Amino acid sequence: MGEISAIFYVILLPIAIGLLGFVINRLRTELDFVAFLVALILSIRIFVATRTGIISYNLASMFGIDFRFYADSLAGLVVLFNAIFAILIWFYSLRFMSKKPGERTYHMYLTITLAAANGVVLSGNLIFLLIFWNVLVFALYGMLLIGKTDSTFAARKALTIIGIADYAMMLGIVLLLVRAGTANFPVEPRVLLADPWLIASYVLIVVGALAKAGAMPLHSWIPEAAKSVPASTMAYLPASLDKLLGIYLLMRVSYFIFDISGVTSVRIVLMVIGSVTIIAAVMMAMVQKEAMRLLSFHAVSQVGYMILGIGTGIPVGIAGGMFHMINNTIYKTCLFLSAGSVEYRARATELDRLGGLGVKMPLTMLSFIVAAFAISGVPPFNGFYSKWMVYQGVVELGDQISFWPVFLIAAMFGSVLTLASFLKMIHSLFLGERPRELDKVREARFEMVVPTLILAAACILFGVFAQAIPLKHLILPALSFPVSGIGFWTPALATILMIGGLLIGLLVYLLGTAMKPRRARVFIGGEVMEEEAARITGPNFYSSVHTVDMLEKTYSFGEGGAFDFYNYLKGATGALGVLLRDVVDKLITTLYRVIGEIIQNLGRLTSALHTGELYGYIGWIFLGGIIILLMLVF
């Protein structure tokens, strides 16, 4: 019974305390601290309880819908990480958001989002889940409104895209409810994709999940928002909670509700979406000139690995996708928060206005570099291991799909490009020469450094001891099937670590020299040129990919918004509106007017007959008399 009340409180408490903190502003920090701490403790409790058993509790049944809670080890895992990220980002925001406009509502949304996210993960019925999912949309929208003035555009875009995906999901869930008779999960036996409507149901629910996770082509609000909302919002929603929830739902529908193993085409579609997302988003990231936007494209790109892994249907691939979900949230949150620290101190995010901050902000740089290597899949950090598992899943696919190397190449190539774009970012932020106005920059505040360092430490911990800690205790117990083949590379782990060590050594060496840029005076026409103008900034790294023949067109399309689903949507709805308003509706209205005109003209005609002259009326009388006579005769 204790676990069930833990489920209740982990959902209700953050909302209640968050609203209370909004009302009593003076005690907000204390109240929020209590809320997040209690949520963390309860989450640990749920996590521990789900190790050994399943918690299931039916709240009420109404209208053919069971409002029930269900927590297995997968849910326990996600709930735990929800709480960890919430408390870290809250702690970071204490200083980062202080005295910014909208601070009060921002903190309220933090708590509401946590509560709703817990609700999503702990519900055992898709309709019940949809309720919490809707609360998340509201909270996301509200949170995106807090920022620079143009954040309202991003908020509208996000609301539109996520809202449409939500409706798709609602339709999918209702189709499942009507066709399969229940929206509860897990279902035994799992629902086979037997008829077209069940396939549609699966696809529609997956659309909802992928829109949440931010996969292409439903990603475009993320880069849009990155420009204008605070870094901590980006870290909280697109980087951590949205990924956890989207991938969680994808796992749930793919392996706990539907049985997709028999339908290869669905899995191929998933893997194609994954691969395209990896490559296309990372290509966009490479040429960005603004820190947050660059990171946001990586937030999109990394989802591809998770979808690819889960789409393989191979146990090691699925485990890899799940592991990558956890790893990605760790390093991506770390990256956003570190970049936020830079923004907080340097008051700029454009790469050409930054540089040389490594000396001034060593701890921030350390955490950023660790996370950057983790995201690029450099051993021994955590990103390497999970990507490796995804690759293995793809390789094992060989007996089912002949063109598996395509996916493998896409994934590996994406990894290389990720590293490339992070080298650009590290250079632009921390190395190179420092612009003069940044000379007074100091290390970020304590509240901001601690979360980033914790996350960076987790990147190392989860990478070096990947098998001993995260896989053994977190990922594998969360899956309902045995996973084999992870140990395939263990003998080589030592080698990998050595290579990693070498790389780090090289890095330290490079940093040692790179942090002290060699200065030479530049002369122009015999005069000393101003140093500032000759500063080598980062943004133009790889700008030559712009000019590669095929890519040039693609990039110019991409920058023109050709890959933005939202633009097409706007165009389509505009056309629909014109069609319905200026054609259909106008036609109907005209029809009414024409009928009115006809009736009026008839009236005029009959009134014209009333001339007011006696002879005329006598003539009518005779005419009438003749007609009556004729009728009597015949």
Partner 1 sequence: MIGLDFFIDNYGLLLGALFVFVGLMSFVYALGTMHEKGHRLEYYLMLLLIVGSGVGVAFSYNILLIFVFWEVSTFAAWRAVAYYRRAPEIEASTWTFLINFIAASILLVGILMIYNDNGTFSIFDISTVSETAALFVLVGIMTKSVTVPFHVWLAPAYGAIPTALGGSLAGVAENIGVILFLRLFTLSGHGTPAFMEMVAWLAVVSSIVGGGVALRSNKLRNMLAFSTISQVGFVLLAFAVGGLYGVVGGILYILAHALAKSGLFYGVGLIEDVTGEDDLTNMSCMFRLSPVLTLGMALLAGSLVGFFPLIGFFSKLAVIVSAVGHSPYLGIGAIASAVVTLLYITRFYHEVFFGDKCDIAKSRYKRPSNAAVAVVFMLALLSLILGVMFYEPLGFLIAGGQ
Q: Least distance in Å: CB of 139 to partner 1?
A: 10
Residue (of 15, 81, 30, 86) closest to 478 by Cα position: 81
Residue 163 found at the interface with partner 1 (CB under 8 A): yes
Cβ nearer to partner 1, comparing 468 with 580: 580
Interaction residues for partner 1, span 47-66 (CB under 8 A): 60, 62-63
Does 156 sit near partner 1 (CB under 8 A)? Answer: yes
Q: Segment contacting partner 1 (CB under 8 A): 155-163, 276-284, 285-293, 537-545?
A: 155-163
Q: Which residues in the 344-403 window bind partner 1 by CB under 8 A?
A: none
Q: Which of 7, 130, 249, 300 binds partner 1 (CB under 8 A)?
A: 130
- Write down the residue that tokens 């996600």 correspond to: 78
Q: Which of 25, 573, 601, 611 binds partner 1 (CB under 8 A)?
A: 573
Residues 311 and 215 sit within 8 Å (Cβ to Cβ): no
Which range binds partner 1 by CB under 8 A, 78-86, 245-253, 277-285, 584-592? 584-592
Q: Which of 55, 168, 209, 318 binds partner 1 (CB under 8 A)?
A: 168
Q: Which is nearer to partner 1, 149 or 607 (CB)?
A: 149
Among 24, 48, 58, 167, binds partner 1 (CB under 8 A): 167
d(CA 488, CA 490) in angstroms, rounded, equals 6
Q: Candidates 70-78, 170-178, 528-536, 543-551 — which segment interacts with partner 1 by CB under 8 A?
A: 170-178
Q: Can you give 76-128 as a three-state secondary structure string? A: HHHHHHHHHHHHHHHHHHHHHCCCCCCHHHHHHHHHHHHHHHHHHHHECEHHH
Residue 171 makes contact with partner 1 by CB under 8 A:
yes
Find the binder of partner 1 among 52, 149, 547, 607 (CB under 8 A): 149
Please report how close the Cβ of residue 345 comes to partner 1 at its closest, in angstroms: 30
Number of shown-chain residues binding partner 1 (CB under 8 A): 48
Q: Of the listed pieces 224-232, 440-448, 461-469, 586-594, which binds partner 1 according to CB under 8 A?
A: 586-594
Q: Which two tokens stand for residue 456?
A: 């960076």
* Both structure tokens of 604: 């005029």
581 binds partner 1 (CB under 8 A): yes
Cα Rg of the chain, angstroms: 31
Q: Does 603 bind partner 1 (CB under 8 A)?
A: no
Distance (Å, rounded) from C-alpha 172 to C-alpha 123?
17
Would you count residue 174 as binding partner 1 (CB under 8 A)?
Answer: yes
The reply on whether position 574 binds partner 1 by CB under 8 A is: yes
**Which range in 131-139, 376-384, 506-514, 542-550 contacts partner 1 by CB under 8 A?**
131-139
Listed residue (41, 16, 18, 44) closest to 30, CA to CA? 18
Q: Is 184 helix (H, G, I), strand (E, B) or coil?
A: strand
Report the residue from 468, 529, 580, 623 that binds partner 1 according to the rule CB under 8 A: 580
**CA 112, CA 493: separation in Å to the nearest integer?**
42
| DSSP designation for 403 | T
Regarding 245 and contact with partner 1 (CB under 8 A), the answer is no
Residue number with CB closer to partner 1 (102 or 186): 102
Side-chain-side CA neighbours of 595 within 13 Å: the count stands at 5
Nearer to partner 1, 44 or 200 (CB): 200
- Cis bond before residue 539 (omega within 30° of 0): no
Q: Which of 37, 48, 588, 594 binds partner 1 (CB under 8 A)?
A: 588
3-state per-residue secondary structure call for 556-622: HHHHCCCCCHHHHHHHHHHHHHHHHHHHHHHHHHHHHHHHHHHHHHHHHHHHHHCCCCHHHHHHHHH
Binding window for partner 1 (CB under 8 A); candidates: 5-13, 23-31, 317-325, 572-580: 572-580
d(CA 478, CA 469): 14
521: left (phi over 0), alpha (psi -120 to 50) or beta: beta
Show the DSSP H helices in 256-290 as ranges.
264-286
Residue span binding partner 1 (CB under 8 A) among the ranges 311-319, 344-352, 552-560, 566-574 = 566-574
Binds partner 1 by CB under 8 A, chosen from 131, 276, 406, 504: 131
User: Which of these segments, 146-154, 281-289, 329-337, 476-484, binds partner 1 (CB under 8 A)?
Assistant: 146-154
Q: Is 582 near partner 1 (CB under 8 A)?
A: yes
Contacts of 340 (CB under 8 A, 6+ apart): 92, 96, 230, 231, 232, 235, 448
Output 531 or 585, the one with its CB closest to partner 1: 585
Distance spanning both ends of the chain, measured CA to CA? 96
Residues that bind partner 1 (CB under 8 A): 60, 62-63, 127, 130-135, 137-138, 145, 149-150, 152-153, 156, 159-160, 163-164, 167-168, 170-171, 174-175, 177-178, 197, 200, 569, 573-574, 576-582, 584-585, 588-589, 591-592
